[in-house]
């Protein structure tokens, strides 16, 4: 990387690994954040495990805030509405996460600035565009509230990759909280079934579990993520077989109880894809990057088919309906898409503002067309690509597709360095890309998917940056005799 100079040399406290001053790090082009001197020549990279559990707890709190309805108030979910307001306690919790995340970012300011240079540029572009959309939003107050959540997610997850980071940090933080929520959902369903199980009489909801989440599809997505984490842990030999089987069994149980056909199909295909990435014959591995790129291109074509942007692409939807067992209306979703696409035509370039359309069945609001024409309020377009186009226009859709393309490219780059970790990030992308064909999760701050994808993007960027810096400065040396480096499975320095 151009501009990388020698590490800054600062005195270390006796017996305590010092951390390089953030400003000096950035100025000298290192930005590593773990540099301390040693007698003789050169600087020393030291293990920095401070605040490991505090940072994990911060991310866990973020996941719970997004996943579990506030105050376990499941009666408020009857309209399938996205939250547009919160209690004073909820606001304090979000502001607390922002403050804590900002404190860590300022502490590691030099490293944070260097990391920004390695980030997926389209993720940065999304944040800039979403902030700017406050100006033209049809509901600027709602858009501003959404941006508070964006700030909390970005700062909390940024802190996770700036401090006490190691190459397996992503799954070691997220796997426990996802599993805890799945176990909690099972216990919640046994203890309070009237809250944990849908009471609606509609055939697609009757008897379906939502557990601690707000909807059966949310529980299905949570279970699908849990299954991916446990399967990957077993395949990468990060976890012993019996615990991995137990975790996977919990995830599969929740997946079946949710009765989410989207999550079931997505989970099955993602697990097959993960197995191919990590256990394919050596002769096939050379073709995996091409197969991955082909898959990404097919998903792009499907998203364009849903949006009806290219005439004739609708024929691509037929295989999906055959696999899922749904007709071409996708359980009525195409009727929702048609109404939203009409709204998109009113703001084709910049959209109506980030998160500003789905504010509830409020008479006079654009989303009230759903009630008038369909006699119900769906709460989202049930397609992540459609909702992004509605919120941020054609420019926003280009940003989303660019974000996904760069994510895949970075994963393929990491695959040359750390195949197991790259496989996990690709599996997460696979799961999200399929899921968003019938659910609205892309860059949606009200869903766990936003947390997981953002964490994956930041961790991916940190891994690539770390590899480049180690290529320049070499591997770390250890100041104390016997203080050997710890390596995670797959070769990551902790």
62 and 153 belong to one structural domain: yes
Q: Which two tokens stand for residue 265?
A: 């199909």
pLDDT score of 5: 32
pLDDT interval class at 203 (50, 70, 90): confident
Residue 348 lies in a domain: yes
Over residues 382-408, the pLDDT tens digits come to 999 999 999 999 999 999 999 999 999
pLDDT score of 322: 56
- Helix pair 419-435, 169-191: axis angle to 10 deg: 50
42 and 57 belong to one structural domain: no
Residue 5 lies in a domain: yes
Q: What's the chain's Rg over C-alpha atoms?
A: 23
Total domains, the chain: 2
109 and 247 belong to one structural domain: yes
Percent of the chain having pLDDT more than 90? 62
CA distance 255 to 227: 9
Residue 487 lies in a domain: no
75 and 28 belong to one structural domain: no
288 and 355 belong to one structural domain: yes
pLDDT score of 317: 62
Domain that holds residue 364: 52-472
Report residue 373 CA to chain centroid gap.
34
pLDDT score of 373: 94
Q: Which two tokens stand for residue 135?
A: 């100006």
Residue 490 lies in a domain: no
29 and 160 belong to one structural domain: no
96 and 30 belong to one structural domain: no
325 and 378 belong to one structural domain: yes
Over residues 370-382, the pLDDT tens digits come to 999 999 899 999 9
Could you tell me the pTM of the whole model?
0.85
63 and 197 belong to one structural domain: yes
- DSSP letters for 22-67: HHHHHHHT---S-EEE-SSSSEEE----TTHHHHHHHHHHHHHHHH
């Amino acid at each position: 990387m151009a501009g990388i100079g020698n590490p800054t040399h600062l005195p270390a406290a006796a017996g305590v690994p010092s951390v390089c001053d953030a400003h000096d790090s950035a100025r000298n082009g290192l930005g590593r954040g773990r540099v301390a001197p040693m007698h003789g020549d050169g600087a020393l990279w030291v293990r920095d495990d401070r605040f490991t559990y505090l940072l994990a707890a911060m991310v866990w709190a973020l996941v719970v805030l997004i996943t579990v309805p506030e105050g376990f108030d499941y009666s408020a979910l009857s309209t399938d509405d996205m939250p547009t307001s919160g209690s004073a306690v909820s606001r304090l919790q979000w502001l607390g996460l922002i403050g804590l995340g900002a404190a860590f970012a300022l502490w590691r300011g030099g490293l944070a600035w260097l990391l920004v240079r390695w980030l997926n540029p389209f993720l940065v572009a999304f944040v800039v565009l979403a902030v700017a959309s406050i100006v033209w939003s049809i509901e600027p107050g709602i858009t501003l509230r959404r941006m508070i959540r964006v700030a909390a997610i970005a700062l909390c997850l940024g802190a996770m990759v700036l401090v006490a980071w190691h190459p397996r940090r992503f799954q070691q933080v997220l796997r426990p909280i996802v599993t805890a929520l799945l176990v909690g959902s099972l216990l919640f369903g046994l203890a309070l079934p009237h809250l944990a199980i849908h009471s609606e009489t509609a055939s697609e909801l009757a008897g379906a579990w939502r557990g601690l989440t707000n909807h059966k599809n949310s529980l299905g997505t949570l279970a699908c993520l849990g299954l991916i984490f446990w399967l990957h842990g077993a395949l990468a030999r990060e976890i012993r077989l019996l615990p991995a089987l137990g975790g996977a069994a919990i995830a599969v149980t929740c997946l079946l109880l949710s009765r989410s056909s989207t999550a079931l199909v997505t989970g099955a295909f993602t697990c097959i894809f993960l197995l191919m990435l990590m256990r394919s014959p050596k002769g096939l591995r050379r073709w995996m990057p091409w197969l991955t790129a082909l898959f990404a291109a097919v998903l792009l074509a499907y998203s364009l088919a849903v949006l009806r942007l290219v005439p004739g692409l609708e024929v691509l939807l037929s295989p999906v309906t055959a696999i899922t067992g749904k007709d071409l209306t996708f359980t009525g979703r195409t009727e929702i898409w048609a109404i939203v696409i009409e709204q998109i035509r009113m703001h084709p370039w910049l959209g109506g503002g980030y998160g500003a359309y789905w504010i509830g069945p409020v008479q006079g609001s654009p989303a009230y067309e759903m009630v008038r024409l369909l006699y119900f309020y769906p709460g989202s377009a049930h397609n992540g690509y459609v909702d992004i186009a509605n919120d941020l226009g054609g420019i926003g859709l280009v940003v989303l597709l660019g974000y996904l393309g760069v994510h895949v490219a970075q994963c393929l780059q990491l695959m040359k360095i750390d195949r197991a970790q790259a496989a996990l990030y690709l599996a997460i992308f696979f799961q999200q890309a399929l899921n968003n064909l019938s659910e609205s999760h892309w860059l949606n701050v009200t869903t766990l998917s936003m947390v997981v994808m953002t964490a994956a993007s930041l961790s991916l960027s940190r891994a690539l940056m770390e590899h480049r810096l180690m290529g320049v400065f070499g591997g770390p040396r250890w100041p104390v005799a016997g203080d050997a480096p710890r390596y995670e499975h797959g070769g990551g320095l902790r």
